[in-house]
Amino acid sequence: MSVKENLYHIQDRIAAACARVGRSQHDVNIVAVSKTVGADKILEAIDAGVEMIGENRVQEAWAKFQEIGPSVQWHLVGHLQTNKVKQALQFFNVIQSVDSLHLASEISKRAVMLGCSVEVLVEVNTSGEESKFGQRPELVVDFVAQIAQLKNISVTGLMTIGAFLPDPEEVRPCFVKLRKLLERINTQKIENVKMRHLSMGMTNDFEVAVEEGATLVRIGRAIFGERVS
Ligand SMILES: *Cc1c(COP(=O)(O)O)cnc(C)c1O
């Protein structure tokens, strides 16, 4: 199937998941995760209506940005090292993977120097898997309050990578945890904080994530096919 057909099929599945829980499908955006995928395929996705591109490596994304440009929103979904922050801020609109004060401070400092401002999401390790990046859930509320005070950063939501489990139903508790954290943060009425994004759900589990309130689903393989490298 073509990228376009894949996307239409995913949109139908998102619409069905929304219908099951009484959400509007317009509240769910697809972030097309295009790591390892060439600019030609990404342009096909954009042609089919994709408005957000997700990449996990700054260097690789930069090369594609040269071809594609700023007509779409660029989301960094992979781990960011502080020595790449400066380059990341040249073109990423949203950094979804902020999980330490050290990193958030560096982003803020660089954004001030560049005279730009950047939207960030806090990555949360909802599965407890040691190998995963992300803040521990019990620390997230305080963490959000801290980074909300930093200049030139706006923190608009939470992101998680669910547990690597074959049955998406088993990943549901991760998504529930993220949604409840967002609700808790919003009821605390922290200054400068109005969280609206839940970035959760990938090829294997996005329908469950949508049922649990995802506003951003990060989908790679279901759009572009299996990754070769
Ligand atoms: C690769 C990746 C995705 C997309 O995964 P698929 O299984 O291809 O849909 C989503 N989020 C992050 C952080 C990724 O690295």
User: How many CB atoms are located within 10 Å of the residue 187 CB?
Assistant: 8
The pLDDT score that the predictor gives to residue 205 is 98
Whether the pLDDT of residue 83 is over 90: the answer is: yes
Dump pLDDT digits (tens) for 176-207.
999 999 999 999 988 878 899 999 999 999 99
The pLDDT score that the predictor gives to residue 25 is 97
Of 16, 81, 88, 50, the residue nearest 220 (C-alpha)? 50
Centroid of ligand 1 to alpha carbon of 112 (angstroms): 30
The pLDDT score that the predictor gives to residue 153 is 96
Average pLDDT over residues 210-228: 96
Separation of alpha carbons 226 and 181, rounded Å: 32
What single string gives the DSSP state of each residue in 11-77?
HHHHHHHHHHHT--GGG-EEEEE-TT--HHHHHHHHHTT--EEEES-HHHHHHHHHHH-TTSEEEE-
Residue 220: CB within 6 Å of ligand 1?
Answer: yes
Average pLDDT over residues 46-69: 98
What single string gives the DSSP state of each residue in 158-172?
EEE-----SSHHHHH
Average pLDDT over residues 57-71: 98
Handedness of CA 171, 174, 177, 178 (dihedral sign): negative
Whether the pLDDT of residue 228 is over 90: the answer is: no
Centroid of ligand 1 to alpha carbon of 161 (angstroms): 8
Residue pair 32/50 in contact by the 8 Å Cβ criterion: yes
Distances (CA, A) of 93 to 87, 125, 193, 195: 12, 23, 18, 17
Residue pair 42/33 in contact by the 8 Å Cβ criterion: no
Centroid of ligand 1 to alpha carbon of 42 (angstroms): 15
The pLDDT score that the predictor gives to residue 229 is 65
Dump pLDDT digits (tens) for 36-54.
999 999 999 999 999 999 9
Mutate to test the pocket of ligand 1, among 6, 9, 37, 77 (most ligand atoms within 8 A of CB): 77
Average pLDDT over residues 208-215: 98
Q: Tell me the Ramachandran region of residue 92: left when phi exceeds 0, alpha when psi lies from -120 to 50, beta otherwise.
A: beta
Write the DSSP symbol of residue 29: E
Dump pLDDT digits (tens) for 114-157.
999 999 999 999 999 988 899 999 999 999 999 999 999 999 99
Separation of alpha carbons 222 and 9, rounded Å: 9
The pLDDT score that the predictor gives to residue 190 is 86
Residue pair 222/203 in contact by the 8 Å Cβ criterion: yes
What percent of the chain stands above pLDDT 90?
93
Residue 223: CB within 6 Å of ligand 1?
Answer: no
Residue pair 134/125 in contact by the 8 Å Cβ criterion: yes
Residue 203: CB within 6 Å of ligand 1?
Answer: yes
The pLDDT score that the predictor gives to residue 1 is 87
Give the pLDDT band of residue 16 (cuts 50, 70, 90): very high
